[in-house]
């Protein structure tokens, strides 16, 4: 027994030849399509919409989605590889891709056949969709959601305020979490339900905010004042929202960890290139032991983060019930490592590291975003500890 897991088999990391082919293809996309546009994206705060269509054509938006809905083969291992390579150049665009999965995964798992028809255009990049759960009063306590849905003839009337919604400016469809008022009042979480809302509703208002990191991906607020949603747009069953949300977030924490690994990789590469080229006191600064130690620390964190990422992605296939604890550990460690690696990269670059035009300081800005998405470090620790407690019975039986 390898507590809190069953045995050593749970620590296997396995890949197939197609995974390396996918990695090469994702890196080529990042180098050719993203890298030449990176400076302009950072300066304007706008990602060209054509890039999401190109990503869709590459299959990056449809990983693990059946071909009948326009998707391609794959699982969380494939998604981790793609997001890591994209984030090496642009974490913002990596997050732009991930946002679509916050819509497509729950629709694929719980949607009706009619709702699944939306998937094809989304995975091809022709339309865009986002996920709206967080509110001004909090985002971690989903059971405390205050947006409400009241019964109406043939549907529901939604009122509420969503905040920190990524991709809100592009979205053609929103997956909204609200409290269905005619559901059982016995427990807060039982009322929560997801609703699909199409953009353009006259009583749905969008307000854009400005974020310090992930520049290029819009973030904003959604205000709903008596927005009518037909019964056909309810995702899953009434009161199933919390279950759907947790199921989705366990998978998406793999994507968040992959964003962090991409940032660490870029921090390492930039630090090596610069320290080999920059000279001080008559020699390259890489010859100074302080810089060598920083680079070694970044490399070590990169390796550990990547191994945890790939391990968590693999465990989703081998032992899905272990995904919540594995993905939370991967996200917790790698996001902290990304922040630390970004700071070391800035220190190695010296004055250049704090110049906006040098695009080095963005590592730190983007790492802070990665720390927040899919739950802060504190939330990950809560998830991990709760999962650990569930396994205490295993330990009791073992001894």
Specify the residue for token string 């983007």.
366
Cα–Cα distance list, 207 to 87, 140, 160, 167 (Å): 27, 22, 14, 12
369 neighbors 211 (Cβ within 8 angstroms): yes
Per DSSP, 146 falls in state: -
157 neighbors 197 (Cβ within 8 angstroms): no
Cα separation, 287 vs 268, in Å, equals 16
SS3 306: helix
366 neighbors 91 (Cβ within 8 angstroms): yes
Cα separation, 60 vs 25, in Å, equals 10
Cα separation, 43 vs 356, in Å, equals 9
Cβ-Cβ contacts under 8 Å for 23 (sequence gap 6 or more) = 81, 85
Cα separation, 194 vs 241, in Å, equals 5
The candidate with the shortest Cα–Cα distance to 33, out of 102, 120, 125, is 125
Beta strand 173-180 with 129-132 is parallel
What is the torsion angle, in degrees rounded to the nearest 10, for the CA atoms of residue 281, residue 285, residue 288 and residue 294?
150
Active site residues: 374
Q: Which contacts of 149-155 are long-range, i.e. CB under 8 A and separated by 24 or more positions?
A: 149/178, 149/179, 149/180, 149/181, 149/193, 149/195, 149/229, 150/181, 150/182, 151/180, 151/181, 151/182, 152/228, 154/230, 154/231, 155/228, 155/229, 155/230, 155/231, 155/233
């Amino acid at each position: 027994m390898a507590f809190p897991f069953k045995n050593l088999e749970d620590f296997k990391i396995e890949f197939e030849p197609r995974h390396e082919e996918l990695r090469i293809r994702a890196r080529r996309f990042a180098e050719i399509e993203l890298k030449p546009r990176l400076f302009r994206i950072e300066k304007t705060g706008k990602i060209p919409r054509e890039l999401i269509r190109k990503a869709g054509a590459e299959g990056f938006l449809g990983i693990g989605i059946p071909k009948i809905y326009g998707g391609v083969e794959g699982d969380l291992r494939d998604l981790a590889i793609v997001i890591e390579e994209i984030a090496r150049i642009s974490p913002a665009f990596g997050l732009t891709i991930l946002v679509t999965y916050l819509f497509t995964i729950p629709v694929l798992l719980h949607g009706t056949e009619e709702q699944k028809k939306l998937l094809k255009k989304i995975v091809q990049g022709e339309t865009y969709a986002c996920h709206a759960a967080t509110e001004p009063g909090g985002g971690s306590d989903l059971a405390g959601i205050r947006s409400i849905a009241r019964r109406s003839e043939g549907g529901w009337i939604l009122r509420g305020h969503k905040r920190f919604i990524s991709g809100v400016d592009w979205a053609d469809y929103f997956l909204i979490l609200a409290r269905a008022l005619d559901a059982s009042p016995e427990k807060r979480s039982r009322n929560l339900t997801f609703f699909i809302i199409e953009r353009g509703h006259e009583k749905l208002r969008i307000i854009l905010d400005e974020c310090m990191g992930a520049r290029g991906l819009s973030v904003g607020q959604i205000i709903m004042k008596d927005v009518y949603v037909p019964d056909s747009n309810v995702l899953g069953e009434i009161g199933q929202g919390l279950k759907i949300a947790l199921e989705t977030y366990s998978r998406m924490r793999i994507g968040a960890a992959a964003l962090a690994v991409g940032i660490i990789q870029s921090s390492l590469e930039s630090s090596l290139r610069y320290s080999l080229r920059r000279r001080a006191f008559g020699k390259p600064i890489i010859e100074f032991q302080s810089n060598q130690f920083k680079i070694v620390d970044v490399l070590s964190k990169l390796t550990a983060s990547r191994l945890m990422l790939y391990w968590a992605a693999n465990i989703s296939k081998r032992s899905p019930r272990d995904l919540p604890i594995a993905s939370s550990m991967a996200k917790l460690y790698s996001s902290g490592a990304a922040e630390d690696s970004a700071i070391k990269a800035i220190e190695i670059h010296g004055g250049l590291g704090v110049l906006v035009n040098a695009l080095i300081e963005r590592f730190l800005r983007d790492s802070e975003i990665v720390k927040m998405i899919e739950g802060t470090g504190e939330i990950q620790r809560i998830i991990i500890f709760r999962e650990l407690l569930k396994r205490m019975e295993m330990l009791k039986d073992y001894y």
